[in-house]
Amino acid sequence: MFDEYVSGALRRANVRPISLSTPMLDDMVRHIESGTPGSLLIAGTAGDGKTYHCRALWSRIGGDPKVWAGKENVKEHRLADGRMAVFIKDLSEFNGQESDLPLQRLEKSVLGGDDSEIVILAANHGQLLDRLRDLGKRQDRVHPLRKPLQERFLQAGPAPDRLAVFDLSRSTSRKTIDEVAKAVASHPDWDNCERCSLKAGGKVCPIDENRRRLLGEADGGQLARRLGDLVEIARLNGLHLPVRDLLALCSNMVLGFADAKLAKENLMTCADVPKIQEGGNIGKASVYANAFGANLPKRRASDRPVFKAMASFGVGEETTNAADGLLVYGKDDSRLQEDFARLVAADPVYGATADFRAAQDDYLEGHEGARLEGGSTEFMEMLEDQRRRLYFSLPESEPGYPRWSMTAFRFAGDYLDIIESLRAKRPVSDATRGRIARGLNRVMTGLLLENVDRIFIASSGGFTQSRVSVLCDHETPSRRQGGVGMAIKLDEETGRPQLDVSLSPGPGNSVAFDLTPIRHEFLARVAEGALPASFSNECLEDLLAFKAKLLRKAEIVRKAGFAGDDDEIGGEASALTLNFIDIEPGGRGFSRPVTVRSPA
């Protein structure tokens, strides 16, 4: 429906379409032209571009555009090798049992060995699995395609034989948001703005200003790169943002406006700009606030996964004393005036505007009663917008105001550096590795250990989920040496780092832990002194499950070491050695063996 709507809207508006690459299209074409028997599935979530890819594939293999424009959901095109290419452009257009026939054609091609047709089916993950389940129930069987496709979608398992699966939900990345931003902001029809009177005589058109900032004309592309960082962290946390949502994000960044009275639906049109300019309200169009959907009503913003994802970073609400001191007192404090001029006042459009300065003065000079009665609400809202602007505009080498401290993921920069180092085959920095090791030790033991060179795998004497564990079952280096210790690897399938803790040389003696951004943040916060349960109970449970696996592996390794050791049989069998974890005054832990013997 979206694909058909966009095609019609383009004709009505008489503009050229936004053109985006189809990353899997060439592989689809090669698969069809190779004559490989079987069929092809284009899968994904709503907004991934399944119908877009389907239409592009139809055109590439010689399909008639007029036939595609017809109302029918099933299109057929005879290939040069004699096979009939059957396009089912959207499974969701079939209601209930109407989908049985196209699914049976797919099954006949994939499982029935019918090489007269190649079925090209576009479908949402969940909807396809549901339809296969319902079809199987009506046929009193478990549909043979459902389980392998479920494993393919959820666990990246192998595709069924004779079915090529192209999962568009796995193709979105940082490159996608870069491409979408450029496609939106550098669309050729923006050239019409060059002759617009709204830009004449030194006037600032907020639409044009936002577009140019998104393009990176003022900051060398820094805004787009940092936007990409946020999208990448969200993706690595397991959140999929389809292309349709990224288009909505970039469109809102350019057109968003925080006052629905001056811009209908909180989105500017050219007709709205004169009123905005005359009222001196350009600051309400800040591209930096629009990136987080701050211009939209909360309910409307939360309906879009992309704005929900952006809001999860807490940019605008998270801050530091240094950043707020700069924004509130910077223009008057002689120690901060230089930084204020460079980082705030240098942006007259969205930085130290006349409205911001006036609200700042009212806040600083107003009586206490006015503040308590809500008189400072306007300034507080402006302060949130300034924090959002700082996240995007702070220089990288700004030690006093680290930009990730303006978010809920204060160690996300280190996380991205881990990935970059692993891809470049460079060692992870000692500081980052040490912080991970310290966080692991504190979760494993429940003690405030400072060790960064070793990892203690501890228990409380049997109950592995105990928060405080002082019995050391095993200890291993925090850096892999001779096949033993912790290694940090890159999982090529997910793109995320993975902690791999080996307790003994050889295969099968290690336990892996998927290090998502939120789990890394949890370990880093704990390493810096946060209480585990105060940050994330979910992350704590994940780490305790990892600890339980390590304890089981330690027991297996220990038993393997004792196998065939006759010295353990006899007089010493009645002795038990326990390793207690003690802490030195500096916080460094060490294991202290205590031997317990039964009475003679």
SS3 letters for 204-251?
A: CCHHHHHHHHHHCCCCCCHHHHHHHHHHHHHHHCCCCCCHHHHHHHHH
Tokens, residue 102: 């196209």
pLDDT tens column, 466-512: 678 888 888 999 999 999 999 999 998 889 999 999 999 988 899 99
Q: Residues 106-130: what's their mean pLDDT?
A: 94
Q: Are residues 49 and 133 in the same domain?
A: yes
Confidence of residue 436 (pLDDT cuts 50, 70, 90): very high
Per the domain annotation, does 180 fall within a domain? Answer: yes
Please tell me the distance from the alpha carbon of residue 194 to that of residue 21, in angstroms, as a whole number: 27
Per the domain annotation, does 423 fall within a domain? Answer: no
Please tell me the distance from the alpha carbon of residue 99 to that of residue 508, in angstroms, as a whole number: 46
Provide the number of structural domains found in the chain: 4
Q: Are residues 141 and 29 in the same domain?
A: yes
Q: Are residues 179 and 161 in the same domain?
A: no
Q: Are residues 434 and 571 in the same domain?
A: yes
Question: Is the pLDDT reported for residue 6 higher than 90?
Answer: no
Residue 310 DSSP one-character state = H
Q: Which residue has the higher pLDDT, 364 or 210?
A: 210
Confidence of residue 570 (pLDDT cuts 50, 70, 90): very low
Q: Which residue has the higher pLDDT, 583 or 96?
A: 583
478 burial level (CB within 10 Å; 0-12, 13-18, 19+) = buried
Per the domain annotation, does 300 fall within a domain? Answer: yes
Confidence of residue 565 (pLDDT cuts 50, 70, 90): low
Per the domain annotation, does 415 fall within a domain? Answer: no
Q: What is the CATH number of the domain that holds 79?
A: 3.40.50
Question: Is the pLDDT reported for residue 373 higher than 60?
Answer: no
Confidence of residue 465 (pLDDT cuts 50, 70, 90): low
Q: Are residues 366 and 493 in the same domain?
A: no
Q: Which of 310, 324, 150 has its CA nearest to residue 237?
A: 310
Q: Are residues 159 and 53 in the same domain?
A: yes
Q: Are residues 259 and 335 in the same domain?
A: no
Confidence (pLDDT) at 374: 54
Q: Are residues 38 and 64 in the same domain?
A: yes
Q: Which residue has the higher pLDDT, 464 or 413?
A: 413
Please tell me the distance from the alpha carbon of residue 351 to that of residue 327, in angstroms, as a whole number: 10
Per the domain annotation, does 411 fall within a domain? Answer: no
Mean pLDDT over the full length of the chain: 89
Confidence (pLDDT) at 262: 94
Q: Are residues 304 and 232 in the same domain?
A: yes
Q: Which of 292, 311, 330 is the last residue of a domain?
A: 311
Q: Residues 157-161: what's their mean pLDDT?
A: 89
Q: Are residues 298 and 350 in the same domain?
A: no
Q: Which of 139, 154, 169 is the last residue of a domain?
A: 169
Per the domain annotation, does 99 fall within a domain? Answer: yes
Q: Which residue has the higher pLDDT, 535 or 218?
A: 218
Q: Which of 123, 150, 169 is the last residue of a domain?
A: 169
Q: Residues 285-303: what's their mean pLDDT?
A: 94
Q: Are residues 395 and 452 in the same domain?
A: no
Q: Residues 327-341: what's their mean pLDDT?
A: 94
Query: With pLDDT > 70 as the criterion, what percentage of the chain qualifies?
Result: 94
Residue with tokens 């810096």: 528
Question: Is the pLDDT reported for residue 227 higher than 80?
Answer: yes
Confidence of residue 369 (pLDDT cuts 50, 70, 90): low
* Full residue range of the structural domain in which residue 369 is found: 321-406
Task: Check: CB of residue 490 under 8 Å from CB of residue 497.
Answer: yes
Confidence (pLDDT) at 285: 96
Q: Residues 13-24: what's their mean pLDDT?
A: 84
Per the domain annotation, does 421 fall within a domain? Answer: no
Q: What is the DSSP string of 324-383?
A: HHHHHHTTT-TTTHHHHIIIIIT-TTTSS-HHHHHHHHHHHHS-HHHIIIIITHHHHHHH
Confidence (pLDDT) at 133: 94
pLDDT tens column, 204-222: 999 999 999 999 998 999 9
Q: Are residues 238 and 183 in the same domain?
A: yes
Q: Residues 525-535: what's their mean pLDDT?
A: 86
Contacts of 32 (CB under 8 A, 6+ apart): 40, 57, 61, 79, 85, 118
Per the domain annotation, does 412 fall within a domain? Answer: no
Q: Which of 309, 258, 261 has its CA nearest to residue 283?
A: 258
